[in-house]
Chain A
């Protein structure tokens, strides 16, 4: 009987998973049918839409894993990091321009105050 109990436990475990899986699949299908605009229809519609978004992300992840590229930062992330760096360098150039202007100011003031040679 003990063996029977364990079997029942696993059966229950399997049934729970199967039911949850079916529920999730139904939510994904509903979310895909109603599209992003459908998420505005209240909490249930939001969860359906979210399930569809997660499923789409899962497919993307699966494809990335198959291609062996999941560990590397995406091209978008790399581009973003490089653009941030480019901005920081450009900001430094702005500071340099301002400093150059300040040096020119000092020179102009020195020229103005220098005694006239005659």
Chain B
């Protein structure tokens, strides 16, 4: 066993023992929360690869328990900054020139430092024409995001160790396929290590929202973008965690909450591409009363059929129709075995009813995560895309409620759902599918 393997095993074992001790040898009713807290501490201690793994877990309620997902969501991806010289040497490697030769100014003090990249401020030396949007004139403030030297090697080496450990001890992990998760993690991290992917997605989002003056996407400077460096327009504003200051500046939080939730629904229902890593640090409110999206590391994709099925599931939720929600969840890949259909439908009905009870929770989070818990309880496989979408919707709801506590996320989805369902009514296959039922219903009425 390598020194790194021994360290990983040692740290995980230490926190497992601490968890067992703090939860009274597993007897405490709060044991899941206590263990989740220990796993978070262990991941933070083990460094970049595990911090990224924690982020991946935080968007996968389909694979992990509610407590672990909540803990990993709270884990901040912030690590001590590297000296500016290390970052300057990456820029020199990538462009053959110093930051001063590329930009009019370059700030050695980082704006942010995360496990994969460090971000510095700069200003443009000459005009830059982005893929979409107005030309950025010389003097425009930009941010230069640089992959930390050694980050890729360290993360990929940890991945090899993780595969080895899972191969040896994976059998002890019940309830999920650890090797499959490592595979997904590997793909996700490799995507994130190539900053051009994020830049391309940012361009696409800028195009999607081209006619919406209330949504801002930072423009990319492709002349100063490579695999390890991305340069983009700097967004000045407030993070969702600094809203008191925004309110003092006259920002209309309620209107922005409704608008932000609607914009997300448009991503899901109309464009079929959505920002799947939304959290207060990736969303800015600007002094122009607009919303700015940052960091397109995790993006979900949906086909037209999937969007229609999601609309049907949401319609099932709005009309307390468990049958409909279950039928269209199947189209999204949730296969309920025949012997479990009745019990799952009954429990889903109870969950839906609880949302309409006086005083019951109207939150999507309550339904979405409750449905996933229900499926997990019955050992029903949940496709990863389903978990990612539910988590994203729940997060958007959480962010919107931070701005405007009374927002009803289902209400914001309603116009999009109606449009999608209306569109699908006219499809020949849909008419064919429903024609028999319609003829039978008509005949029943005639002979009644």
A residues contacting B by CB (< 8 A) are 16, 39-40, 42-43, 46, 50, 53, 83, 87, 90-91, 93-95, 97-98, 100-102, 104-109, 112
Q: What B residues does A97 contact at CB under 8 A?
A: 129, 222-223
A108→B97 contact, CB < 8 A: yes
**A40–B196 touching, CB < 8 Å:** no
What's the interface size class on B, roughly? Answer: 20 to 34
B203 in the interface (beta carbon within 8 A): yes
**Interface majority SS (helix, strand, loop, mixed), chain A:** helix
By a CB distance below 8 angstroms, the chain B residues around A102 are 226
0/1 interface trace, chain B 212-247, chain A, CB 8 Å (1 if under) = 000000001011111000000000000000000000
Contacts of A87 in B (CB 8 A): 131-132, 207
User: B422 an interface residue at 8 Å Cβ cutoff?
Assistant: yes
B26 at the interface (CB under 8 A from A): no
Given A91-B131, A101-B224, A109-B96, 7 additional A-B pairs, CB 8 A: A83-B207, A87-B132, A94-B203, A97-B129, A98-B226, A101-B226, A102-B226
**B366 interface residue (CB < 8 Å to A):** no
Query: Does B356 sit within 8 A of A, measured CB to CB?
Result: no
16 A-B pairs in the complex with CB atoms less than 8 angstroms apart:
A39-B418, A43-B319, A46-B418, A87-B131, A90-B131, A90-B203, A91-B200, A93-B129, A94-B130, A94-B131, A94-B220, A101-B95, A102-B226, A105-B96, A106-B96, A108-B97
Q: What does the 1/0 interface line of B119-144 toward A look like (CB < 8 Å)?
A: 00000000001111000000000000
Please name all residues of chain B whose beta carbon is closer than 8 Å to the beta carbon of A40 when the two chains form the complex.
Answer: 414
- Tell whether, in the assembled complex, residue A53 and residue B222 are in contact, meaning their CB atoms are under 8 Å apart: no
| Contact (Cβ within 8 A) A98 B96 | no
Determine whether B77 belongs to the interface, using a CB cutoff of 8 Å to chain A: no
In the assembled complex, the Cα of A16 lies from the Cα of B132 at a distance in Å of 57
Whether B194 sits at the interface, judged by CB under 8 Å, is no
Q: Is the CB of B414 within 8 A of A101?
A: no
Main SS at interface, chain B: helix
B314 to chain A, nearest CB (A): 13
> Is A91 in contact with B418, judged by CB distance below 8 angstroms?
no
| Contact in complex: A101, B319 (CB < 8 Å) | no
Q: Which 7 pairs of residues, A with B, have the shortest CB-CB distance?
A: A108-B96, A97-B222, A94-B222, A109-B96, A94-B131, A105-B96, A90-B131
Query: A42, A83, A93: which contacts B131 (Cβ < 8 A)?
Result: A93
Complex CA–CA separation, A46 to B132 (angstroms): 39
Q: How many Å lie between the Cα of A100 and that of B222 in the bound state? A: 10
The winner among A40, A43, A46, A97 for most chain B CB atoms within 10 A is A97
- Please state if A105 and B422 are interface contacts (CB–CB under 8 Å): no
- A98 to B230, alpha carbons, bound, how many Å? 11
Q: Are A50 and B422 in contact (CB under 8 A)?
A: yes
Instruction: Say yes or no for B67: interface residue by CB 8 A criterion.
Output: no
Q: Is B94 an interface residue (CB 8 A)?
A: yes
Least CB distance, A70 to chain B, in whole angstroms: 15
Say whether B249 faces chain A, with CB atoms less than 8 Å apart.
Answer: no
Q: Which residues of B contact A93 (CB under 8 A)?
A: 129, 131
**Alpha-carbon distance between A41 and B210 when the two chains are bound, in angstroms:** 34
A87-B131, A105-B95, A109-B96 known; A95 and B446 CB under 8 Å? no
Shortest Cβ gap from A101 to chain B (Å): 5
A3: shortest Cβ distance to chain B, in Å? 23
- With a cutoff of 8 Å between Cβ atoms, the chain A residues found around residue B132 in the complex are 87, 90
Q: Which of B131, B220, B223, B425 contacts A101 (CB 8 A)?
A: B223
Q: Which residues of B contact A109 (CB under 8 A)?
A: 96
B94 / chain A contacts, CB cutoff of 8 Å: 105
